[in-house]
Amino acid sequence: MALWAIYDILEGTCNRLSASVLQRFGSGRPFVGSELSGPSSVASVNFIDADALGYVDPLPTVNYWFYDRNHAKTDDIMSTDPALNYAFVLNGGGREFEIFIQPEVLNVFNEDTPQFVDATVLDATNGDFATFNPFTDTPVEGVHYGKGPNFGQATSA
Domain count, the chain: 1
Strand partners, 141: 145
Asked if residues 118 and 148 have their Cβ atoms less than 8 Å apart, the reply is yes
Ranges in the chain, pLDDT < 70: 32-38
Q: Hey, which bits of the chain come out as E strands?
A: 2-11, 15-26, 40-43, 61-64, 77-92, 95-101, 121-122, 146-147
Residue 150 lies in a domain: no
Residue 56 lies in a domain: yes
Residue 141 lies in a domain: no
Residue type at 54 in one-letter notation:
G
pLDDT of residue 74: 85
Q: Per-residue pLDDT tens for 47-83?
A: 888 888 888 888 888 888 887 777 778 889 999 999 9
Residue 124 lies in a domain: no
pLDDT of residue 18: 98
Residue 39 lies in a domain: yes
pLDDT of residue 34: 54
Residue 6 CA to residue 39 CA, distance in Å, equals: 45
Least Cα distance to 142 among 131, 154, 152, 129 occurs for 129
pLDDT of residue 155: 86
Q: Rounded to a whole number, what is the largest CA-CA distance in the chain?
A: 86
Residue 11 belongs to what domain range? 2-113
Residue 135 lies in a domain: no
